């Protein structure tokens, strides 16, 4: 920002009585040394808020203040300003008609932008004021991100034309922060495709990329919000080159094609660093590769962020602050168990506590926590690592997964000798956890003595906030979930109609539902008697446990998800 706008801003703030001259001069000296805009310094120091600045600037310049958060963005609106122009002038369109265009400016003092836009767009341009961060975010979301989608689709069509093959795929994904590829046209064709595939996956919020050789084609699919979506496929003749490229990037043995391999890729995307776990499995049509995309920034969550409702948050916080015992997270692969345990560790991570984890592999690195990774090739399995961890004098231990009797017994004995132990287990619900441990061979009295709680978790899709619409479900639909529809006759529900931002699915993003079984005296007695999981669940529900389906129903009532989504994910209680 030029000196004149900075002077104008400081003058406005001084006239409004929000700052004084001495304060402004001191900040200006710091800004010159650090190369930071004066506006940013005022806000970061907590002297004034961005809302105060927006109101003053808008009043001074005779402009309207707008919020982009509630803006309904359509393809027609975005097309009013070309991507290059939006990036150059840092503007975003908010309204238009045949002769007029209203744009949000990131620098309201730079009035020459209005004249330049009028000349370029041949329309009357009305400037408005919006938070600078919102404008930057919308530019990335609707211009730079969509350029990646367009490049991916255009390039796929281009290579099909070169090979004489055709595709009728139409891209339905859009809108996530991603900078456009730079100099990608200078790279070899296969390298370009793999690079664009990663960029498109990040842009689409995909958690996994599946590269699957099929009879007559090489299929590529992205898992978005837990559901697989097909994307444009490369020509089948590229299969060996693409697989080889991915194996080289992930550090696999290129010559070995007979046995499964694991690898890892580090991606440096603009503004974020991603870790990609890669697995290669030989199949009858070639090597199938599945890549799990891990975003280091996404794991730093609070308990409310991972889907706990207020009452379950309070209960879970009480459990994880227990001095001893074992707490088990249960659920299938990909249900977010590890993420929830990381959130728990983050909650209790203090300088006074020694926390050690053993994982396979270490998915996210956490500050202040000692993390070890299993390496079975050299004999460092969960059991061996756990024995060593106990000699490190830990207060809290996290075992990535209990999968055998030896690991289970060591974990339980650690819980009985003064340690708090977290781990995961593959069961369908929380009451099945003690039964699973007993089936492994652990003595029932050890399970009953050590187990503090078992928590089942599933991930469900959230309703897309951009196409939320009220509707009235059929009473039979409500009854199917297990509640009395008569109690909800006068209540309105919502669902997503489907829009460009959610790929016409009606869902965007995911949250979790939980089933927390606290082991009290009654449950402990049933574990000792080796009662069935169904009997244990019946008693746990009677004692106040909310099942997965009922926790999902609470989220339906909070307008976070839909009845069909809960029915898809949960089983009958």
Tens-digit pLDDT string for the chain (573 aa): 333 344 466 676 666 566 666 666 666 666 555 555 555 655 555 566 667 677 777 777 778 888 887 788 887 888 898 888 888 888 899 999 989 999 988 777 677 888 888 888 889 999 888 888 788 878 877 776 555 555 555 666 665 555 544 333 323 222 223 333 444 444 577 888 888 888 888 878 888 999 999 988 889 999 988 888 888 788 888 888 899 999 999 999 998 999 999 998 888 776 667 889 999 999 999 999 999 988 765 555 667 677 888 888 899 999 999 999 999 999 988 888 888 988 899 889 888 889 999 988 787 778 889 998 888 778 888 888 888 888 888 999 999 889 889 989 999 999 998 899 999 999 989 999 999 999 999 999 999 999 999 999 999 999 988 888 888 888 888 898 888 888 888 888 999 888 777 777 889 888 899 999 999 999 999 999 999 999 999 999 999 999 999 999 999 999 999 999 999 998 776
Dihedral sign, Cα of residue 229, residue 233, residue 236, residue 241: negative
Exposure b/e, 105-128, CB count within 10 A at least 16 = b: bbbbbbeebbeebeeebebebebb
> What are the DSSP calls for 309-373, one per residue?
-HHHHHHHHHHHT-SSEEEEEE--TTSSHHHHHHHHHHHH--TT--EEEEESS--S--TT-EEEE
Q: Looking at residue 538, what is its pLDDT?
A: 94
- What Å distances lie between residue 104 and 73, 109, 144, CA to CA? 13, 12, 17
Q: What distance in Å separates the CA atoms of residue 283 and residue 213, rounded to the nearest whole number?
A: 8
Output the pLDDT for position 522: 94
Which burial class, exposed, middle or buried, applies to 84 when counting CB atoms under 10 A from its CB (0-12, 13-18, 19+)?
exposed
Give the C-alpha separation, 149 to 416, whole Å.
54
Residue 105 φ then ψ, to 5°: -105, 145
Angle at 213 between CA 208 and CA 219, to 5 degrees: 55
From CA 235, how far away is CA 160, in angstroms rounded? 7
Tens-place pLDDT, residues 350-385:
888 899 999 887 877 788 899 988 887 788 888 888
**Alpha-carbon span 365 to 371, nearest angstrom:** 8
pLDDT at 222: 92
Q: Which of 398, 390, 344 is nearest to 371 (CA)?
A: 398
Q: How far is CA 469 from CA 70, 210, 508, in A?
A: 15, 33, 14
Rounded Cα gap, residues 228 and 245, in angstroms = 23
CA dihedral 456, 461, 463, 465 (to 10 degrees): 110
Distance of CA 137 to CAs 144, 161, 172, 272, Å?
10, 35, 21, 14
For 534, counting Cβ atoms within 10 Å of its Cβ (0-12 exposed, 13-18 middle, 19+ buried), the class is: exposed
Query: For residue 82, which phi and psi values (nearest 5 degrees)?
Result: -60, 150
Asked whether the whole model's pTM tops 0.85, one would answer no
β-bridge pairing 451-463 and 325-330: parallel
- What is the structure's pLDDT at 27? 62
Residues 395 and 420: beta-carbon distance below 8 Å: yes
Nearest residue to 348 (alpha-carbon basis) of 329, 373, 366, 335: 366
Contact yes or no for 571/535 (Cβ under 8 A): no
State how far the alpha carbon of 283 is from the alpha carbons of 248, 505, 513, in Å.
19, 31, 35
User: Of all helices (H) and strands (E), which one includes residue 247?
Assistant: helix 239-249
- Total count of residues recorded for the chain: 573
pLDDT score, position 165:
42
Sheet of strand 272-283: strand arrangement: 227-230, 217-224, 206-214, 286-295, 272-283, 261-269
Cα(114)–Cα(133) distance, integer angstroms: 20
Question: How do residues 248-283 score in pLDDT, each as one tens digit?
Answer: 999 999 989 999 999 988 887 766 678 899 999 999
Helix/strand number for the chain, H first, E second: 22, 18
What is the number of other CB atoms lying within 10 angstroms of the CB of residue 506?
20
Q: The tokens of 437 are what?
A: 């441990």
Distance (Å, whole) CA 308 – CA 310: 6
Give the pairing type, strands 396-399 and 420-425. parallel
Exposed e or buried b per residue across 357-378, where buried means at least 16 C-beta atoms within 10 angstroms of its C-beta? bbbbeebbebeebebbebeeee
């Amino acid at each position: 920002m030029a000196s004149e706008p900075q002077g104008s801003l400081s003058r406005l703030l001084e006239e409004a009585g929000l700052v004084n001259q001495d304060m402004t001069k001191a900040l200006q000296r710091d800004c010159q040394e650090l190369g930071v805009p004066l506006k940013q310094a005022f806000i970061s120091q907590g002297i004034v808020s961005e809302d105060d600045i927006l109101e003053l600037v808008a009043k001074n310049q005779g402009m309207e203040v707008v919020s982009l958060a509630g803006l309904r963005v359509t393809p027609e609106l975005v097309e009013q300003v070309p991507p290059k122009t939006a990036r150059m002038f840092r503007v975003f369109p908010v309204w238009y008609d045949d002769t007029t265009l209203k744009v949000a400016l990131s620098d309201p003092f730079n009035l020459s932008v209005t004249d330049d836009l009028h000349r370029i767009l041949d329309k009357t341009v009305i400037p408005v004021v919006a938070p600078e961060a919102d404008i930057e975010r919308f530019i990335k979301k609707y211009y730079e991100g969509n350029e990646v989608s367009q490049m991916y689709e255009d390039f796929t069509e281009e290579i099909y034309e070169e090979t004489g093959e055709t595709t009728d795929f139409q891209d339905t994904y859009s809108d996530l922060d991603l900078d456009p590829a730079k100099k990608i046209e200078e790279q070899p064709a296969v390298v370009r495709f793999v690079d664009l595939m990663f960029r498109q996956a990040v842009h689409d919020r995909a958690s996994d990329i599946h590269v699957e050789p099929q009879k007559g084609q090489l299929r590529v699919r992205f898992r978005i919000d837990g559901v697989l979506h097909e994307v444009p496929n490369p020509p089948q003749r590229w299969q060996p080159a693409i697989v080889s490229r991915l194996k080289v990037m992930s550090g696999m043995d290129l010559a070995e094609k007979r046995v499964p391999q694991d690898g890892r890729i580090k991606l440096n995307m603009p503004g974020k660093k991603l870790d990609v776990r890669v697995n290669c499995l030989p199949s009858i049509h070639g090597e199938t590769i599945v890549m799990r995309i891990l975003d280091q920034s996404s794991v730093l969550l609070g308990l409310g962020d991972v889907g706990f409702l207020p009452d379950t948050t309070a209960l879970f916080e009480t459990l994880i602050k227990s001095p001893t015992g074992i707490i088990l997270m249960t659920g299938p692969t990909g249900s977010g168990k590890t993420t929830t345990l990381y959130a728990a560790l983050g909650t209790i991570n203090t300088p006074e506590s020694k926390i050690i984890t053993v994982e396979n592999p270490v998915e996210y690195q956490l500050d202040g926590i000692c993390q070890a990774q299993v390496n079975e090739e050299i004999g460092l399995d969960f059991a061996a690592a756990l024995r060593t961890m106990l000699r490190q004098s830990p207060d809290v231990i996290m075992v990535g997964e209990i999968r055998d009797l030896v690991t289970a017994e060591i974990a339980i004995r650690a819980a009985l000798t003064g340690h708090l132990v977290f781990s995961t287990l593959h069961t369908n619900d929380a009451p099945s956890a003690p039964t699973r441990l007993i089936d492994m061979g652990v003595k029932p009295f050890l399970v009953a003595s050590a187990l503090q709680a078992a928590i089942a978790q599933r991930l469900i899709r959230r309703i897309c906030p951009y196409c939320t619409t009220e509707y009235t479900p059929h009473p039979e639909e409500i009854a199917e979930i297990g509640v009395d529809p008569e109690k909800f006759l006068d209540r309105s529900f919502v669902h997503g109609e489907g829009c460009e931002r959610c790929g016409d699915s009606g869902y965007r993003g995911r949250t979790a539902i939980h089933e927390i079984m606290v082991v009290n005296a009654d449950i402990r007695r049933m574990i000792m008697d080796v009662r069935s999981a169904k009997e244990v669940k019946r008693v746990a529900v009677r004692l106040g446990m909310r099942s997965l389906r009922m926790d999902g129903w609470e989220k339906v009532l909070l307008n976070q998800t839909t009845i069909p989504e809960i029915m898809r994910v949960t089983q009958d209680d």
